[in-house]
Structure 1
Amino acid sequence: MFTHSRSDFPQGFVFGAATSAYQIEGHAHGGAGRTIWDDFAAGPGNVVRGEDGALACDHYHRYEADLDLLQAAGFDAYRFSTSWARVMPDGRTVNPEGLDFYDRLTDAMLERGLKPCATLYHWELPSALQDKGGWRNRDIAGWLADFAETIMGRIGDRMYSVATINEFWCVAFLSHFLGHHAPGTRDIRAAARAMHHVLLAHGTAIERMRGMGLSNLGAVFNMEWATPADDRAEAAEAAALYDDYYNHFYISGAFKGRYPDRVVDALGPHLPDGWQDDFGTITAPLDWAGVNYYTRSIIAPNDGPWPHHNSVPGPLPKTQMGWEIYPQGLRDFLVRTAAEYTGDLPLFVTENGMSNADTVAGGVVQDDARIAYFQSHLAAVRDAIAAGVPLKGYMAWSLMDNYEWALGYEKRFGLVHVDFETLERTPKASWHAFKAMLGGD
């Protein structure tokens, strides 16, 4: 169990758990269209065992029981995402079944006293839009805004909050430069365009939703602390560059209307023409910002192509993903984000959690490592609040084990265990720890 209690956090502090559409819903149901993840998974070697999200956790049919688990644990909010390809199978044409599903889901949250915290886009781009260039095509800014208008025209009146895009770095750099996620591109020019267009699409969607009268609008930035591998100046510079293109690029664009010099020096020739003129849209005012945090990277310089560095193993205990457990990074990011970018704007930890090789034994999942992870990161949250950060909530990743993208169903992040053969849900010890802390039923 945790040593923290709800009373250790400010009055009104929001506790929630998070998921994403493609990872849990079961994309084969409800008239959803094909996505870049269906295509990516069909390519040899891209995803463990070639697994996709066709069934996932079958949340599409089991959402009421899943929301019951959130309510029973005492959570205040549910951070979920809407599938663009479910609502618009070809990215442009509306599927009434998709709108109906999110309408039912929203009402079911409210019936259980859960605050609906929506994210428009969590990586499941319709394949038909990828055929038109996807995130490399400037037109995607308008496409996302049209999707925002469509889905929020149906459920926006009942949202507690709405974020545009989950994890800009993953959408752009991880997927278009490193090629580890869909669409699996490894192209510096495609990456530079995606990095800019993802921010332009964010700002355009914010402007569109603001025009609809929606409020409490934000964006979610993933952050990974960069530590130099040694005391050399070259290692310090490599870590600073990593920090710039991973952490600073997107939040600096959104809040300061500029990109870090180190990144522009390298990617400037590959950015789209006239990119400097888009910051008026990219900096559309926000009501809050979210930080997703899991780990740090130890950065060493190398003689390879740009960015001329790589991550090396660190000395700290690691999760099932091989990620170091470094709670200090969460505290430091929250303090830095408020000091350098957001000021008094409310911040939320929108994702934080760990994968663990969980098994069910006698009907119990004793995930002590995950309890320890949350214990230390909740302590970091309290330290940030004590340092004056206007932090308003914390969302655990994830409510349940799910489709972990290129790693298929192998890595388990959930508070609730899912048997992917029977789809049986078993709350883990970490779920019970949250229940005890939050005063669940």
Structure 2
Amino acid sequence: MSSFKGPRGTQDILPGEVEKWQYVESALTDLCYRYNYKEIRTPVFEHTELFQRGVGDSTDIVQKEMYTFTDRGDRSLTLRPEGTASVVRSFVQNKIYGSPNQPTKLFYSGPMFRYERPQQGRMRQFVQFGVEALGSDDPAIDAEVIALAMNAYKELGLSSLKLVLNSLGDKKSRSRHRQALVEHFQPYKEELCEDCQSRLATNPMRVLDCKKDREHESMHTAPSILDYLNDESRAYFEAVKSILDRMGIEYEIDPNLVRGLDYYNHTAFEIMSNAKGFGAITTLSGGGRYNGLVEEVGGPATPGIGFALSIERLLMALEAEGITLPIEDKLECYVVSLGEEAEQEAAAIVYQLRQAGIQVDKDYAGKKMKAQFKAADRLNAHYVLVLGEDELTNGQINVKNMETGEQETIALSTIVEHMKRELKGDA
């Protein structure tokens, strides 16, 4: 008999671990609603051209990492490698830009897919949580998105955090910087990796993001985008920093921070973990402004900014800082029964309790009473309800509080109301 395993770069999130995911996803959702961001859900695959145009042909994602296939209608489709392009496509397709409530503030969560070498915290299928704010070029919305990202980590208890900022400027600033980068790197071209040699012609700024050549001497002397910002771009960046200062959010400036996607301009940022033992790749999340992306996918001129974080890396950071999430692995009730009639009645009682909103379970393996009590212990049951043939004949049921050891016998007909009072405080 053959034995199947999950595809390389994927994982099963099992009971005992999945509760952590549920907790952080719920916390992130609550935070977004506090900031007045609404959830959006988009398809897990899109037309390939969306990512080619939206993410950028010169990016590693498009060139090397996308899961692309041809469907039966001979259409090229791609499993989404990131969330922003899909959200922007939906924003345009559904004419959300026509809503009187602007800017449009959205958040999303779901699986993304990238073909890269699997390693700790970096899978081929991973879960990304992100926010997008479309329709405002106010520096205050940049600061709001950054503040939301920082709060996402701090409210879960993380403290070893570093926020890094940069400005990529507007088109004019980037054009001047692009020329300076080409002139700077051209003498070293043959010493750089094949990817950087190609990027030098297509998108020179991406050379600064190369992981292979990061220690090359030319990287340390490359011209900074900050020296090529025009007055408008510089003023915008100063305004973003000023608002962050007023918020009391600390940050560092890194002129080599360019992000991995072609659609960014103006504000770019990353949040990193300084926790010991977190790993060589310290980035937790990143984002920035992407004025021009909406037009690229066929919509009206609309500014936008957003960020995305990896749930896997968030959980890794919590573990690195020794943070235990307040997750209770308890069962409210467990029904122990003995005898055929009692077992059938127990099934009805379990159903009635569940209908009343009470978490409850029972034995389905024909175990003896002692083994059923052991099962209740393993499940950390708060109360055990015991029903035998004698109790059934007398119309009664025994209720034991497993924390205090107290027991009482009550009328079977009142068990639902009794447990609602005990567990929910209902009168």
TM-score, with structure 2 as normaliser = 0.24
Please identify the structure whose Cα radius of gyration is greater: 2
TM-score, with structure 1 as normaliser = 0.23
More strand, by proportion: 2
